[in-house]
Amino acid sequence: MRTQVAIIGAGPAGLLLSHLLAGEGVDSVVLEARSRSYIEQRVRAGVLEHPTVQLLREAGLADRLDREGMPHAGITLRFGEPGERRDHHIDFHDLVGRGITVYGQQEVVKDLVAARIADGAEIGAQLWFEVSEIAISGIESDAPVVAFTDAEGRRHELTCAAVAGCDGYHGICRPLVAPRTIERTYPFAWLGILAKAAPTHHELVYSHHPNGFALYSMRSPEITRLYLQVPPDTDPASWSDARIWDELGTRLAAEGFHLNEGPVLEKGVTAMRSMVAEPMRRGRLFLAGDAAHIVPPTGAKGMNLAVADVAVLAGALRDLLRGDHRAADAYTRTCLSRVWRAEHFSWWMTSMLHIFDDATEFDRRLQQAQLAYTVSSRAAATSLAENYTGFPHGAVL
């Protein structure tokens, strides 16, 4: 088997890269360890930055997004002493002239798979699901080989000109490129639920509360997505539905706010950590998405960073295959400038909004001062809005 680019991983990064490469006339094969049904149902991020939405529209991938996505013009920060908790709206449109769109990652994946198939990419030819025993060799040459076993147990060898590692932190690609990573683990996690309950607030609410952080979000006009700060070793089964709703009601409480309750469709705990792999390229193997970086979800950057990576990588691979190495040689530098900006923003949002068990009175007063400044200073609010809604793809920040 031969192709121009072998893509390991069929998440948003791998599938979007395959689509963008096809638009440049570059052939690719996508290899995914999970089944198609699994990747299309896996609930992950749900906030799309403005540049992400723009790119999906330009690539002809936003028909359903434009019909079903939920545009938001801002977010709300909720904080204050008991009895004095107030909402502070950060108006993105007013501050930076752009907004965000709430549209689940699994919906993006469904759209990308459907688009690849509609464009003629066949399952078992350009899209392979449930593959195993992937091995990559020859990445320092101009003809790497990817060996794998298909779902029926047959062994294949795929020769290509470049490999894109979009297989996440636990995949095989990251250790081949960057055995050293820069990491930080936070002393808490998020307990998240998906509930069949209509949203009662039109935008995301980030709530700072003495019991811990809470996030009010949504996925559709019928489904809400909610999170509670919990200890990192929390077993989701230890939290009954009644306990979750009670704690959400406490942490999200504010004058005039009503929380709809409903059947909990999904429950899980998300670790809070940061990771950056440097470099993002070795020879003809390039990392993108979670294989190269992880951010805590507070800043809503995970999927958007993956999209930004492949927006750069698609052009770099196109040029590389034509003999121009400049964009490929600059790939790590270009992407990491955005990655570290997102890491800082995500750390800042996390540090400002969460409760730290070892915080001193001095730490708590600093946190309160930061929250007050962010909502009272137009310059500070503009910085939040600029980072949250996203920077142009390819910009070196």
Provide the CATH number for the domain around residue 28.
3.50.50.60
**Quick one: tokens of 193?**
């639920």
Active site residue 301: yes
Q: What pTM, to 2 d.p., does this model score?
A: 0.95
Q: Which two tokens stand for residue 46?
A: 């749900």
Look at residue 226 and tell me if it is in a domain: no
Would you say residue 230 lies in a domain?
no
Q: Is 109 contained in some domain?
A: yes
For residue 122, the tally of other CB atoms under 10 A from its CB is: 10
Q: Is residue 320 domain-resident? A: yes
184 contacts: CB under 8 Å, gap ≥ 6: 273, 274, 275, 347
Which one is catalytic: 103, 186, 227, 388? 388
Separation between Cα atoms, residue 322 and residue 340, nearest integer Å: 30
Residue type at position 391: F
Give pLDDT tens digits for 195-239: 999 999 989 999 999 999 999 999 989 999 999 999 999 999 999
Q: Known catalytic residue: 206?
A: yes
Q: Indicate which residue of 19, 201, 209, 301 is catalytic.
A: 301
User: Is a pLDDT exceeding 80 seen at residue 44?
Assistant: no
Convert the pLDDT of each residue in 76-133 to its tens digit.
Answer: 999 998 778 899 999 999 999 999 999 999 999 999 999 999 999 999 999 999 999 9
DSSP alpha helix (H) spans, 322-396: 326-329, 331-353, 361-376, 378-389
pLDDT at 43: 76
Domain count, the chain: 1
374's CB contacts (< 8 A; 6+ apart) are 77, 352, 380, 381, 384
Active-site pick, 50, 72, 201, 209: 72
* Residue 297 annotated among the catalytic residues of the structure: yes
332, two tokens:
């790590």
What pLDDT, on a 0 to 100 scale, did the predictor assign at position 326? 98
Residue 205 located in a structural domain: no
CA distance 90 to 236: 32
151 in a domain, yes or no?
yes
- The answer to whether position 203 is within a domain reads no
Helix (H) or strand (E) holding 207: strand 205-207
Q: What is the pLDDT at residue 157?
A: 98
The active-site residue, picked from 206, 216, 227, 331, is 206
Is residue 363 assigned to a domain? no
- Domain of 24? 5-46+105-180+278-354
**pLDDT score for 249:** 96
Whose tokens are 């509609």? That residue is: 118
